[in-house]
Amino acid sequence: MADNFERVKSFILDLGFSIDDEIPEDEIVVINDEDRGIHELVIDCEEDLVVLEQLILKFQGEVSATVYRRILQINRTLVFGAFVLNEEGDILLYRNTLALDNLDLNELEATINALSLGLAENSNELLGFAA
């Protein structure tokens, strides 16, 4: 598995990102690119998967069914990944899971680009959900 972790780190560097934090024993790296909306994107190599996850917002108070419905509608427009909720339903995250064994640079780049695009297209509405 360490070879896959090193390959993922190499891809990240090839894409022009710096690794801002790393937990080698858990095979986790964290990257940032504020210009693209990437803020503490966690890239976690787990067994045969790589999981990308970024906190989008924390909800304040009760969340209406209308907001949950709208998030599902937004998901339909995302190229890769999805906006998901934590177990308590009070935190909105972006998440995508990829197969690690055959992961290539283009696939990882497309996932990160999908996050950037999804945020660019929906940031005002998503931020409105936090109020």
Indicate whether 117 pLDDT > 70: yes
The confidence band for 114, taking pLDDT boundaries of 50, 70 and 90, is very high
CATH number of 2-130: 3.30.1460.10
**What residue type is 5 in one-letter code?**
F
Q: Report, as an integer, the average pLDDT of 110-130.
A: 93
The closest alpha carbon to 80, from 35, 58, 50, 125, belongs to: 50
Q: How many CA atoms lie within 13 A of 31 on its CB side?
A: 25
Q: Is 34 helix (H, G, I), strand (E, B) or coil?
A: helix
| pTM as predicted | 0.92
pLDDT per residue over 34-88, tens digit each?
999 999 999 999 989 999 999 999 998 889 999 999 999 999 999 999 999 999 9
